[in-house]
Amino acid sequence: MNIFVINSGSSSLKYQLFRLPAEQPLCSGLVERIGLAEPRITHKVFAGGEEQVIRQSPTQLPDHRAGLQAVLQLLTDATLGVIANPADIEVVGHRVVHGGETFAATTVINPAVKAEIKRLFSLAPLHNPANYLGIEVAEQVFPQAKQVAVFDTAFHQTLPEQAYRYALPEALYRQHGIRVYGFHGTSHKYVAAQAAAYLGNPDARLVTIHLGNGCSMAAVRGGRSLDTTMGFGPLAGLVMGTRSGDLDPSILFHLIEHLGYSPPEASNLLNKQSGMLGLTGYSDMRDIGRALDEGDERARLAYELYAYRIKKYIGAYAAVLGGLDALVFTAGVGENDPLTRRLACQGVEFLGVRLDEEQNQLRNGQLREINAADAAVKVLVVPTNEELEIAQQCYQLLADSY
């Protein structure tokens, strides 16, 4: 089954094409700066164990439809193409960030599903409109394909009520849906399944730690999410690249009432000017790591604060799970930053966590253990693959009908 996975952003389009059940993509790519000056396309084709990269700089890509049409030309290219025509795409899988309480599973898209995604725009104003646009464009470019939505929030729909409810008047939940939804669910689901399979324990008690520009953690047992750090929106929990993570809500009132911030300005501050950027002037951990090597005290504090928040949630989630079988680090920082992993694991040795520092320093792009050989708790680095997870969920949903 040819499954084309799309992650549509406001000015970008990320994609991979899989021929399931094979897990290796036929091609992948990224269209950037759609509707802006100097758009770029990076397209990779995987054939015979080799990777060929095509880079294009179109004079203009006025909208997402133009971007997807440019991708289609690459997919069907006479020399490097991987399909003959658009009809070869049987399924288009879409990442949709917010599914509210409506969508707890992968769903075939129809007019009612689209209407519900649209209704949820206010809960994910930066993401759901772009995801919706990707659906509409794909329906035009691949009209014969089944369109399928995979929701980032769906994995966390298994949270118990005491974990997803806030201590607010009940009407705010019943009438307005104010509750914990959680995000990065596709990544947490994928790495939790990989870790449980590696451990040979389907009931494994796992803390999955997704550290990229956005960061979140989840308490997972038996493949079910029991708690997660992000909440009603993606601002809560860990310190992130530009987001503050957890803070005292009274800070917001102080900003607005005493420092003259408008609500939009306060939102911009907490979402786009805080986190590691606010602490150091950099949002990328590689830049912060270089600053740390140069003796920058702000970088030192930022690393310690970042890891301290992770450590607090490790302890909290070990309590939620009633014990711990493995910590699972994933995503760009989680997979590639040994210092973050070391700092996050220091001080939780009482839980059975002990790193092998030599293993922690290695990078091989594969699932691997970085714990000491005799440690009671495994510490795993598991590369995430959200696009493959989306493709596999589409395949599982539709395989019986093909």
More confident residue, 80 or 376: 376
pLDDT value of residue 379: 98
State the Cα–Cα distance between residues 96 and 113, nearest whole angstrom: 11
* 286 is known to lie in a ligand binding site: yes
Q: Cα 162–163–167 angle (5° rounding)?
A: 65
* 342 is known to lie in a ligand binding site: no
284, two tokens? 């990328």
pLDDT band at 115 (very low <50, low <70, confident <90, very high): very high
Task: Evaluate if residue 358 carries a pLDDT over 90.
Answer: yes
CB atoms within 10 A of CB 22: 8
State the Cα–Cα distance between residues 270 and 259, nearest whole angstrom: 14
* 356 is known to lie in a ligand binding site: no
pLDDT band at 402 (very low <50, low <70, confident <90, very high): low
pLDDT value of residue 319: 98
pLDDT value of residue 248: 97
* pLDDT digits 0-9 by tens, 185-219: 999 999 999 999 999 999 999 999 999 999 999 99
* 14 is known to lie in a ligand binding site: yes
**Amino acid, single-letter form, for residue 127:** H
Domains of the chain and any CATH numbers: 2-151 (3.30.420.40), 200-386 (3.30.420.40)
Q: What share of the chain is helix, strand, coil (3-state, %, to 5)?
A: 40, 20, 40
Instruction: Just list the catalytic residues.
Output: 152
* 212 is known to lie in a ligand binding site: yes
* pLDDT digits 0-9 by tens, 283-340: 999 999 999 999 999 999 999 999 999 999 999 999 999 999 999 999 999 999 999 9
Q: What is the mean pLDDT of residues 142-150?
A: 95
* Mean pLDDT over each residue of the chain, to the nearest integer: 94
**pTM of the predicted model as reported, rounded to 2 decimal places:** 0.92
CB 275 within 8 Å of CB 239: yes
* 284 is known to lie in a ligand binding site: yes
* 210 is known to lie in a ligand binding site: yes
State the Cα–Cα distance between residues 100 and 113, nearest whole angstrom: 12
Least Cα distance to 129 among 118, 114, 141 occurs for 118
pLDDT value of residue 93: 96
Q: What are phi and psi of 105, to 5 degrees?
A: -155, 165
- Three-class SS of residue 205? strand
